[in-house]
Amino acid sequence: MQIPPYVLSGLLALVLTYAIAYEMRGLSERVGAMTPPGGRHIHNQPMPRLGGLAIFGGALVALIVALPIVQPAALVRASNYLVLAVPVRTLPLSEVGILLGAVAITALGALDDLHPLAGRLKFPLIYLAAGAPVWFGMTTAFVTHPVTGLPVPVGVAGKVFTVVWLGSMAIAMNSIDGVDGLASGVAAITGITLLSAAGHRQDLVTMTLAAAVTGSALGFLRHNFNPARLFLGDSGSMLLGFLLGAAAVQGMVKTATVLSLAVPVLALAIPILDTGYAIVRRYRNGVSIFRPDRGHLHHRLLDLGFSQRQVVVLLWLVSATLGLGGLAVAGISRTPSVVLLAAIAAVLVALGWRLGLFRLPKAPRPELSDPARLR
């Protein structure tokens, strides 16, 4: 019997996150980490928001256990005994950096959940925490030229891209965490997409990272789906985005091609586009980009008459479709992939136009008083 490390990672993350989440509900109440109703929030009673610590506990333990395993663990017979043989290795510094970055992102998010930070302080700190893996050696060292197929070194630009990507993914996942189950569901779908892409390359490290995110997101979803009993908080949504970003970068280290970028970009398209649209919307309305409002995609769909569950399921389906599109693009030749990408873009534009999502809403009303959050 063999147990692949990514299976162990996913199962550990799922079970531990599910169990720890029960404790986080009581802890949130004891320390006052409760999200009040009103303003841009759509719930009608105070909700505990330290669920991210359950994600952290489940995912971190899973990664610490599974990342050092280089081959499937196996039950083998030795004389009169059954022995669990686990081939392990010393973690490379780049993977240690991912774990340290996860600790830093979670600590920052938990501090923000307890005592909201000003956006101008919080966001630079996010990118500082995102620099931990790069400091320890994880970076996009080259890209493959789309015409010649030759590797092109990118030097310092690769390090800058990695930091910006990791920090931006943490912010983007935080941005869509406004409806019960949306962020954790999108994280699980994205994790499955990245796991599938890495499985095609037999990239065990990326598979283990993606499986940990998928397992922890699914374990938490039982507590977070409408009607939610526990919120991710900034600690959870930012951690999920950071780990997904790290899994994507780890996969790009193996095949840094233009088409390989389609998988993480399309899989994470909803949080990426929603965050970009929020920045443009606030800038056009003449308000700070750090100021929260009710103009996010999920809010717009709610205003159109969709229920919370309908919004979540619709965006899950869109996320899954985009993820499948990314897998298809990465697995086919250049011309068909360009056609497929164009078709996906056309469908998204048509859907957004039909739903009226391209019309900029009016500037947010002044009663939204907590500028620390982008969502």
**pLDDT tens, position by position, 6-16:** 999 999 999 99
pLDDT digits (tens, 9 = 90+) for 104-130: 999 999 999 998 888 888 999 999 999
Record the tokens describing residue 57, joined without a space. Answer: 């506990």
Are residues 141 and 131 in contact, defined by beta-carbon separation less than 8 angstroms? no
According to the model, what pLDDT value does residue 60 have? 96
| Nearest CA-CA partner of 250 in 269, 263, 238 | 263
pLDDT band at 69 (very low <50, low <70, confident <90, very high): confident
In this prediction the pTM is 0.84
**Of the ranges 115-119, 234-238, 364-368, the best mean pLDDT one:** 234-238
pLDDT band at 365 (very low <50, low <70, confident <90, very high): very low
The answer to whether residue 147 scores a pLDDT higher than 60 is no
Cα 295 from Cα 275, distance rounded (Å): 11
Question: Looking at per-residue confidence, does 144 or 171 come out higher?
Answer: 171
Least confident of 94-103, 168-177, 283-292, 296-305: 283-292
The answer to whether residue 84 scores a pLDDT higher than 80 is no
| Nearest CA-CA partner of 75 in 84, 66, 87 | 84
The answer to whether residue 366 scores a pLDDT higher than 50 is no
pLDDT digits (tens, 9 = 90+) for 14-41: 999 999 999 998 899 898 888 887 666 6
Amino acid at 22: Y
CA R_g for the chain: 21
Q: Where do the domains of the chain lie?
A: 2-265
pLDDT digits (tens, 9 = 90+) for 266-290: 888 888 888 887 787 777 777 777 6
pLDDT digits (tens, 9 = 90+) for 201-234: 888 999 999 999 999 999 999 999 988 889 999 9
